[in-house]
Structure 1
Amino acid sequence: LDVYITSWKNPDASMREVRFDDYLVEGISAIVRVARECSGAERVHAVGYCIGGTALATWMAWAARHYGEDAVPVRDWTLFTTLVDFHKPGDIEVFIDEESVAHLSEQMKEKGYLDGKDMAASFRLLRSNSLIWHYVVHGWLYGESPAPFDVLYWNMDTTRMPAAMHAWYLRELYLNNRLVQPDALVVAGEPIDLRRIRQPLYVVAAEDDHIAPWAQTFHTVHHVAADKRFVLSSSGHILGIVNPPVTPPRRHYRVATAHRADRAPLWRERAALREGSWWEDWMAWLKPRAGELVAARPAADERHPALGDAPGTYVLEA
């Protein structure tokens, strides 16, 4: 499988007016176009993680209007720990109200962006026992050096958000929950209705996710009419996804098809419990949709030359 991964650029004050619309048109649309050009494929298999998944779901509804429901250049799509229904967004709800959003929006206007450290601090407060007090006790009280932990290091690698984009995101999605209201949002010139999406969907949630609670991510199946397969992985927001097959298995998952009439607790009761990594189930679902095998080819070509060695230049920006 050719894999094209696009990372967020860490915005600074010069990007204060970049909007959610821009992320869809200049981001996701460009990603799909370039992946098609590089691979020669007519349609791609799209994947979105967390807010990237929310953006992908919005783009899929946008593309259903823009191209036509059966002409979207995406064969199927996958969401990792993604919210589209923000009615009960989890523990983060304690920070989301009209006054808080208004205050945060004013702060972002001054800086031009939301500082990633502020967002990280909010999420640490949601799990203060494990993410704050554990390190106070063992580091400050006991004088122990923390053991190296690559996932925690990744978790601390914060990303900023442009002021215009994030203010819109908080107000329209978290406060007003308009993404699941048919045609309530107009994004990049198109009314957004998730019910128009026809491409098969694979959804992965995590049991212990405090950022995107699995029962709330399950509501995605109620708003998308396409065929859906839902997976509930063990662990949390990161480890539930970064979950390679290993021997012996470290984790487990539940999996079953999902229907618009399903409810999360009943789905969980009938879903098959499997040991190991859901990646294997995903490949079994994805590969038959990927067509015939072709010879491997270089990632870069004359039309899309390499800009630099991995991991690129964005990761070096402060």
Structure 2
Amino acid sequence: MTDQSPAALWQDALANITNAMTQAARTPMKSEATRPYDPLALMQTMSDFAVGLGRNPQQLLEVQLQAAHEWGDFWSRAFLSKTDAEKPRDRRFASPEWQDNPYYRTIRDAYLLASKQIRSVAQVAEKGDTPNAAMIDFLVDQYLNAIAPTNFAMTNPDVVKRTVETGGANLAQGFAHLIEDVAEGKRIVRRRTADAFEKGKTIAATPGSVVFQNHLFQLIQYDPTTKDVAADPLLYVPPLVNKFYMIDLQPKSSLVKWLVDQGRTVFVISWINPDERHRDCGVEQYVLDGIVEAIGQARAKSGADKVDLFSFCLGGTLVSVVLAWLQAKGRAGEVNTATLIGSMVDFADMRDWAAFVHEAHLDALEGHLERQGFIDSTELQQLFAAVRSNDLIWSSVINHYLLDKAAPPSDLLYWFEDGARIPHAFLKSYNRGLLANNALKEKTGFAVGGVEIDLASVKTPIFLIALKDDHVSAWSAVYDGGKLFGGPVTFVLGGSGHNAGVINPPAANKHGFWTSDAKPGTAQEWLAGATRNEGSWWPSWNAWLAEHGSGKRVPGRMPADAIEPAPGSYVSITH
């Protein structure tokens, strides 16, 4: 609660509205020659939805009859003020008023019931596991998330309370924020928070040096903190869509710092934020000029024969391609083990993301990329925000447009918003060659440097980590992907989501993880027989690395021939 009077708050709000409108008037409207998606395909999806309902009248009638019964039961309970129903596990309705106040409780429960019924109607219209069905699900989710009662001033108890406190100045301030965001032209609800982080000082601050760089990446080697270290160095391969330092946030949660403190030599690839010069850099260039080059450099800088690779998300997909390429070239001995975290190689089940692997959208994206040479970080942020709209759009709408409250500093969200571009050639070869054709599973001839990629040939021991609440790489799909490798695969299921499940330091004692040596046919069978362990999977992974390593120790390796201090200059290129 602010210490200012409502009158003072209103004065500030009106001044901010004036400033925002003045700035908006001075900012020219941006026009887009192309879009990274096809609007006509969205319209066709909605048309197909209506046709699908008409083709299934019996199923639709059954859904309607069930809905009528549910609403009858709902209103009878509402009029009798029965409160014995279990409180929903939905963070949007965390305030006690949603459970204790009959008005808000009824609104909440009506919304949740209607949402369930609308999704039932959508299932009537869908036919099979297709991009069109996935797009229907995506559009339904967008609609339901947008109309949630939490997003409106009169039906959100926190906003009502705040409005009374400020005399409505919070809504005026929120309107100023809305004007600012619209004028900025990024189509993103800007997260307003204090500048709490600075790369190299408060975040991405583990001491180290850039020891190599080329047109695609800088290679960072971190300073040792122990007298001796494991002889086998680690090399991290991040995804292209975000900067590498998700594994080096604040010191208390930094995976890099933890590994260094465990007596490991850690190298990290820091991808450049590409521009027009990188237009023609495809998967092949990122594999050969990127990861394979980094492997050679890490071996040379450390004096080791082999490296242990670890990777996250798209980085793990690329590492899988690298392993197959090295195997085909007779160079598999350069890598001792590979750890893939939240990484997919079997794209048969992409959940929400299947909506975008649609022929019309792929064509539109390629036309868009052809014009500008890359997909921009803002466009990628819009995409990820849409898939997680409650967390990344509507929560900010509530905080900044309705409550006028600054968001608490979050190192993970700071990293998420510090995105990167992806070149035209990479996305084209990745989307068409890997995603749309599911080439690593179906063996459709995806090749790198003239070498056809066959995961079954890979004999390198793999530590495969999935995250139970992962919205990007469904954990069951990660499990299925492990079957494609020809060598030993150790599968571990971590708790939490795609990003938070990775950043899980042992000291926090959070999330937990599941382990089992069994290899049943389905992920659910595996989970049914798995053992749940408390805390972080990091120590178990470190023990696995030790078990598969040489067992030798060498004096701590200080970076030599340093180009510049970590985190390097590539990580700060924003364009």
TM-score, length-normalised on structure 1? Answer: 0.94
Q: Give the conservation status (yes or no) of the 8 Å contact 2:446–2:452.
A: yes
Equivalence for 1:49? 312
Secondary structure at the residue paired with 1:211? coil
Residue 258 of structure 1 and its aligned partner are, at CA, apart by 5.4
Q: Residue 14 of structure 1 corresponds to which residue in structure 2?
A: 277
Residues 183 and 192 in structure 1, CA contact (< 8 A), matched pair in contact too? no
Query: What is the distance in 1 between the residues matched to 2:497 and 2:526?
Result: 19
Q: Aligned partner of 1:225: which letter?
A: G
Q: Which of 334, 344, 351 does residue 73 from structure 1 map onto?
A: 334
Q: CA deviation at 1:92?
A: 1.4
Residues 233 and 253 of structure 1 are in contact (CA less than 8 Å); yes or no, is this contact kept in structure 2?
yes
Segments ≥4 residues shifted beyond 2 Å: 256-259, 288-291
Work out which of the residue numbers 515, 523, 532 in structure 2 matches 1:255.
Answer: 515
Deviations 1:71-112 (A, max 9, x none): 431111100110101111121111220110110011111111
Taking the aligned partners of 2:532 and 2:449, their CA distance within structure 1 comes to 41
Q: Residue 471 of structure 2 aligns to a residue in which SS?
A: coil
Aligned counterpart, 1:167? 428
Shift, 1:184, TM fit: 1.8
CA shift, 1:65, in A, is 0.4
AA matched with 2:528: E
Whole-Å Cα distance in 2 between the matches of residues 72 and 189 of structure 1? 20
2:525 pairs with one of 261, 266, 275: 266
Unaligned runs of 5+ in 1: none
Between stretches 278-287 and 34-43, larger displacement belongs to 34-43
Q: Which residue is equivalent to 2:291?
A: 28
Counterpart CA distance in 1 for 2:526 and 2:270 is 33
Aligned counterpart, 2:553: 293
Q: Is the 8 A contact 1:183 1:191 kept in 2?
A: no
- TM-score, normalised to structure 2's length? 0.53
Which of the residues 458, 461, 464 maps onto 1:203?
464
What is the alpha-carbon distance in structure 1 between the residues aligned to residue 337 and residue 504 of structure 2? 22
Deviation track 1:255-295 (CA, whole Å, cap 9, x = no partner) reads 22353x53100111112100000001101100132321111
The letter for the 2-side match of 1:136 is V
Give the whole-Å Cα distance in 2 for the aligned partners of 1:77 and 1:311: 24
2:437 aligned residue (166, 176, 195): 176
Q: Is the 8 A contact 1:181 1:193 kept in 2?
A: no
Displacement of 1:47: 1.1
Counterpart of 1:84?
345
Query: For residue 134 of structure 1, what is the amino acid of its counterpart?
Result: S
* Amino acid in the other structure paired with 1:317: I
Local SS of the residue matching 2:440: coil
Q: Over alpha carbons, which structure has the higher Rg?
A: 2
The alignment status of 1:306 with 2:306, answered yes or no, reads no
Two-structure CA RMSD over aligned residues (Å): 1.3
**How far does the alpha carbon of each residue in 1:140-191 deviate from its partner, in whole angstroms, 9 at most, with x for none?**
1011111111111111111110101111111112211112223621111101
**SS of residue in 1 equivalent to 2:532:** strand
Q: Distance in 2 between matches of 1:58 and 1:295?
A: 33
Amino acid at match of 1:182: K
Question: When the two structures are aligned, how many residues end up with a matched partner?
Answer: 310
Aligned residues with identical type, % of pairs: 33
Distance 2:277 2:373 in 1: 7
CA distance in 2, matches of 1:160, 1:263: 36
**C-alpha separation between the residues in 2 aligned to 1:82 and 1:279?**
17
Give 1:147's match in structure 2, choosing from 383, 390, 408. Answer: 408
Does the CA contact (< 8 Å) of 2:460 and 2:488 recur in 1? yes
CA contact (8 A) 2:440 2:446 kept: yes
Partner secondary structure for residue 129 of structure 1: helix
In the TM superposition, what whole-angstrom CA distance separates every residue of 1:283-311 from its partner, at most 9, and x where no partner exists? 110013232111112111xxxx1110111
